[in-house]
């Protein structure tokens, strides 16, 4: 039966309406996968030989000490990114296939995701080095099996916590508290981690603990999925009672105010947009990377960080216009909707948040006013130039967004566009090049003024740029409608 399921997956890929684009994205995805496999394998060599030769410590103990951190990061990463394959198995529920077979297939399919097995190349390489250097075969294999199974437990936890935000938030708070207590040496978490994982190596029979945990969580997750495995219950779209909200003063601004009102409601109500708001806030602290590596302290890197610090909302929300409206976009196109007012409303919303981020980034002045002035200039550039180019690139975005689901898919097929990629030149490369060149030849003041001037110039010419953007949206209108109507 599992072989038939895999054949259906293969056929669905080659019989889709976008086979060429699917294949192209698969190629890019495979390149990325091989890159991370190489990185994980390289990290294993570094973890063994650097710790042994440079630090003079036992590599296995050192790795075991920090495995608890890697496990938590893996759990968080999978919760945020990994998409559960529930939609692909819905058609099987109407067929004469035992439900337990479909549930087991669903669980097994999560292990086929690269997010599940890529980190195994670190452990495979590390254990290979251990065997080559005389570590016991049975001990090494038991350590590898135990560690791998504990990391695979995160797939089950992802299933159990996926639609329980309160529990996920509670777990996140616990992780944050334990991290702080560990940082201030109140709880020796790293010592406990080293003791537990190294014991699996010293006493191979301790591998029965991870095996028992894996089998137990498989059974719990199996029962949890099977219990709600019905089209009219567990897998149906959740319905909630709608609430009417309105920000009165925005209605004074006509159609623009109405569109902004709708976007604010959307940002407050949906999981995807709430995640974007949180991500935009976290981007404000992206500039702190400059203190982790000297390469981040160059003028071009400073401008790069400034664009993200002040424009995180633009790059996360703005690039998905009009995808966030995909559910009712066809209806909107049948109405007498002023296209220019629709685009302007998005533009004003992007820039209001950008101004807020510029003010919030004022704490960077603590590290030097030159840092904040660079970020301030980047903010002006985002307002005057990037906000418009971001909306322009949205004309080529044909990706549907389900606002009722937590979006975890990376590299969706319709979101890839070479035209949108070309627009990255004026959005990112141009300000970095101008800032770096002006700083090199004339100093930081000239660099800041030049970027700010480009931003002000874009602001002054916004009406003419709007006309170009609207013309492009209209030319892409029917292909966008066709894409949004597809399931």
Q: What is the DSSP string of 62-127?
A: HHHHHHHHHHHHHHHHHHHHPPPTTGGGGGGGGSS--HHHHHHHHHHHHHTSHHHHTTHHHHHHHH
- Give the pLDDT score at 86: 55
Residue 431 in contact with residue 307, Cβ under 8 Å? yes
What sign for the dihedral angle of Cα 292, 297, 303, 306?
A: positive
> What is the chain's pLDDT, residue by residue, as a tens digit (487 residues)?
556 665 666 565 555 544 444 566 667 677 878 888 888 888 999 889 988 888 888 999 999 999 999 999 888 888 776 666 554 566 666 666 777 777 877 788 778 777 788 888 999 999 999 999 989 899 999 999 999 999 999 888 887 877 677 777 788 888 888 888 888 888 899 999 999 999 999 999 999 999 999 999 999 988 888 876 665 554 444 454 445 555 555 666 667 777 787 778 777 777 677 777 877 888 888 777 666 556 566 778 888 888 888 888 888 887 778 777 777 777 777 777 777 788 888 888 888 889 998 998 888 888 888 888 888 998 899 898 888 888 888 777 777 776 665 544 433 444 444 555 566 677 778 888 888 888 888 888 888 899 989 989 988 888 888 888 888 888 877 777 777 776 5
Q: Is-above-0.75 flag for pTM?
A: no
Rounded Cα distance between 89 and 91, Å, is: 6
pLDDT of residue 85: 58
Cα atoms found within 13 Å of the Cα of residue 52, Cβ hemisphere only? 12
Nearest-Å Rg of the Cα atoms of the chain is 26
pLDDT at 241: 47
Contacts of 128 (CB under 8 A, 6+ apart): none
Convert the pLDDT of each residue in 198-243 to its tens digit.
Answer: 999 999 999 999 999 999 999 998 888 887 666 555 444 445 444 5
CA-CA distance, 309 to 361, in Å (whole number)? 7
Looking up tokens 């966008």, which residue turns up? Answer: 480
Dihedral sign of CA atoms 398, 403, 405, 408 in order: positive
* Tokens 């919760």 -> residue: 79
Phi, psi of 330 (to 5 degrees): -60, -40
DSSP 237: P
Between the alpha carbon of residue 110 and those of residues 37, 86, 128, 210, the distances in Å are 18, 10, 26, 19
C-alpha distances in Å from residue 444, one per residue of 289, 372, 373, 422: 20, 12, 9, 28
Return the half-sphere exposure (C-beta side, CA atoms, 13 A cut-off) of residue 79.
Answer: 22
Q: Give residue 14's pLDDT.
A: 55
- b/e sequence 380-410, b meaning 16+ C-beta within 10 Å: bbbbbbbbbbbbbbbbbbbbbbebebbbbee
Measured in whole angstroms, the distance separating CA 445 from the mean position of its chain's CA atoms is 35
What pLDDT does 37 receive? Answer: 87
Separation of CA 60 from chain center = 31
User: What's the CA dihedral at 351, 271, 236, 22 to 10 degrees?
Assistant: 60
Q: Which two tokens stand for residue 116?
A: 């599940």
For residue 275, give Cα distances in angstroms to 37, 139, 320, 355, 406: 28, 43, 14, 20, 8
407: tokens are 């979006």
Distance, in Å, from the CA atom of 369 to the CA atom of 47, rounded to the nearest integer, reads 39
Rounded-to-integer distance, Cα 133 and Cα 76, Å: 34
Contacts of 11 (CB under 8 A, 6+ apart): none
């Amino acid at each position: 039966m599992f072989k038939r399921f895999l054949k259906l997956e293969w056929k669905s890929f080659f019989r889709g309406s976008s086979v060429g684009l699917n294949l192209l994205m698969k190629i890019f995805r495979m390149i990325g996968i091989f890159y991370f496999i190489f990185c994980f394998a390289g990290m294993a060599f570094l973890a063994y030989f650097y710790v042994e030769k440079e630090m003079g410590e036992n590599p296995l103990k050192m790795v075991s000490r920090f495995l608890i951190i890697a496990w938590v990061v893996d759990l968080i990463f999978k919760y945020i990114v990994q998409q559960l394959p529930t939609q692909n198995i819905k058609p099987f529920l109407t067929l004469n296939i035992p439900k337990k077979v479909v549930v087991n297939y669903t669980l097994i399919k999560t292990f086929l995701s690269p997010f599940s097995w890529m980190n195994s190349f670190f452990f495979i390489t590390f254990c290979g080095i251990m065997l080559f250097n005389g570590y016991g075969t049975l001990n090494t294999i038991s350590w590898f099996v135990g560690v791998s199974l504990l990391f695979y437990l995160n797939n089950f936890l992802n299933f159990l916590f996926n639609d329980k935000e309160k529990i996920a938030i509670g777990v996140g708070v616990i992780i944050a508290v334990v991290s702080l207590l560990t940082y201030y040496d109140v709880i020796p978490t790293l010592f406990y981690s080293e003791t537990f994982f190294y014991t699996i190596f010293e006493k191979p029979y301790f591998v029965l603990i991870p095996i028992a945990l894996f089998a137990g969580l498989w059974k719990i997750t199996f029962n949890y999925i099977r219990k709600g495995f019905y089209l009219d219950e567990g897998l149906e779209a959740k319905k909630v009672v709608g609430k009417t909200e309105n920000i009165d003063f925005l209605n004074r601004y006509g159609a623009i105010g109405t569109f902004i009102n709708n976007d604010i409601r959307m940002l407050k109500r949906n999981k995807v947009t709430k995640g974007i708001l949180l991500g935009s806030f976290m981007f404000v602290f992206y500039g702190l990377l400059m203190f982790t590596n000297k390469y981040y302290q160059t003028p071009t890197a400073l401008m790069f960080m400034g664009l993200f610090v002040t424009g995180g909302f633009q790059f996360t929300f703005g690039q998905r216009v009009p995808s966030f409206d995909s559910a009712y976009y066809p209806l909107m196109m049948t109405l007498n909707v002023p296209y220019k007012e629709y685009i302007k409303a998005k533009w004003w919303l992007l820039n209001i948040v950008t101004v807020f981020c510029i003010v919030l980034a004022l704490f960077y002045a603590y590290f030097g006013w030159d840092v904040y002035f660079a970020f301030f200039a980047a903010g002006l550039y985002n307002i005057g130039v990037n906000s418009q180019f971001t909306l322009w690139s949205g004309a080529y975005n044909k990706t549907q967004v389900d606002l009722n689901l937590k979006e975890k898919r990376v590299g969706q097929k319709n979101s890839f566009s070479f035209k949108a990629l070309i627009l990255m030149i004026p959005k990112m490369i141009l300000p970095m090049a101008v800032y770096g060149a002006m700083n090199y030849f004339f100093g930081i003041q000239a660099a800041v003024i030049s970027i700010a001037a480009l931003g002000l110039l874009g602001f002054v010419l916004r009406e003419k740029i709007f006309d170009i953007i609207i013309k492009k949206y209209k030319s892409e209108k029917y292909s966008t409608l066709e894409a949004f109507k597809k399931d």
